[in-house]
Amino acid sequence: MSETTASESAAASGPSEHDPKGTMLKPEEHVLATLRSDGTRRWIRPRLSKGQLLTARRIVAYGLMVIFIALPHITIGGKPAILLDILHREFTLLGTTFVPTDTPLLMLFLLSVFVTVFLLTALFGRVWCG
């Protein structure tokens, strides 16, 4: 049998809840950000940050709501700006009507937009970010 010292056996057993002096440490008060030490829930109630960015965000949000509500009522070339006619399988976007046979064309267009954004980001992203 091999003889081990007290320090070797303590090191082998893993970390302990003692400080270097050998006294017990107190448990932490906040186990999780939303849990108290007794197990009850600690509610997080964020405060509204007021300022320029909140005002700008609200202006953009209300503007987008107005645009999305108004677009079906605006006519371009005798057709609504946006019309999603699921029953007849026709989608009108800015006066142009798309039917299901236009799907490959739309797929190629979206793929080219994706590749263009990817390439521009790869080429000029380093210039922008440093």
Question: Measuring CA to CA, how many Å separate 54 from each of 26, 45, 62?
Answer: 42, 18, 12
pLDDT in tens, 65-123: 999 899 889 888 888 888 888 888 888 888 788 888 888 888 999 999 999 999 988 88
Look at residue 109 and tell me if it is in a domain: yes
Look at residue 80 and tell me if it is in a domain: no
Look at residue 117 and tell me if it is in a domain: yes
Look at residue 45 and tell me if it is in a domain: no
DSSP per residue, 97-118: EE-GGGHHHHHHHHHHHHHHHH
Count how many domains the chain has: 1
pLDDT in tens, 73-84: 988 888 888 888
pLDDT in tens, 29-61: 556 777 777 778 888 888 877 888 888 899 999
Host domain of residue 113: 100-130
Look at residue 128 and tell me if it is in a domain: yes
Query: The whole model's pTM is what?
Result: 0.43
Residues listed for the chain: 130
Look at residue 104 and tell me if it is in a domain: yes
